[in-house]
Structure 1
Amino acid sequence: MGVPKRRQSHARKNKRRSEWRKIDKPGLVECPQCHELKMPHRACLVCGFYKGKSVM
């Protein structure tokens, strides 16, 4: 297993840790049944429809 030869600086460590906040938020789409916003490719939490069929 690889072992670091030198200590990582604070700046390098903090730069690596700050990247996770830069991930984009997922886009929302309008449900064709109830016209509420929902996550794409998922059943609507309000009306329970997915691809025109009731699944919940």
Structure 2
Amino acid sequence: MGSRMRVTKGHGGNRRSHHALSEPGLSECSNCGAKHLRHRACQNCGQYKGRSVFDVLKRTGRLLAKKEARQKERQVAPEEKVPEEKAPKALSAEGLSKRD
């Protein structure tokens, strides 16, 4: 069973020759000139196909507020949670052989 399943390095390499990653297709924003993924709104100015899709200032403010809230939770959380030390159970041959 083992010998018929072997694949040489060359054959494996030939199979994997098509597994390379391709670069994402980027477009240039018509408003600000920044690069963005195709068929997506520009993250720099918030426009898509020449019209405003979202307010960038409002979005960045919301993201910053969310980030600050997460940092506050991380600072408070370790103080609240105090792990209890658990003593390891003594295992014996009799205890292991019993069925529950």
| TM-score normalised according to structure 2 size | 0.41
Aligned AA (1:19): H
Q: Distance in 2 between matches of 1:46 and 1:8?
A: 52
User: Which residue of structure 1 lines up, in the alignment, with residue 46 of structure 2?
Assistant: 48
User: Which residue of structure 1 lines up, in the alignment, with residue 18 of structure 2?
Assistant: 19
> Out of 30, 44, 47, which is 2:28 matched to?
30
| TM-score normalised according to structure 1 size | 0.62
Q: Distance in 2 between matches of 1:7 and 1:49?
A: 54
More strand by share: 1
1:35–1:8 distance in 2 versus 1, CA, 3 Å: same
Q: Distance in 2 between matches of 1:48 and 1:8?
A: 54
Unaligned runs of 5+ in 1: 1-5
SS at match of 1:19: coil
Q: Higher relative contact order at CA 8 Å, sep ≥6: structure 1 or structure 2?
A: 1
Q: Percent identity, aligned pairs only? A: 42
SS at match of 2:19: helix
More helix by share: 2
Shift of 1:10: 4.3
Shift of 1:34: 0.8
Q: Distance in 2 between matches of 1:14 and 1:47?
A: 44
The CA RMSD over aligned residues, in Å, is 2.0
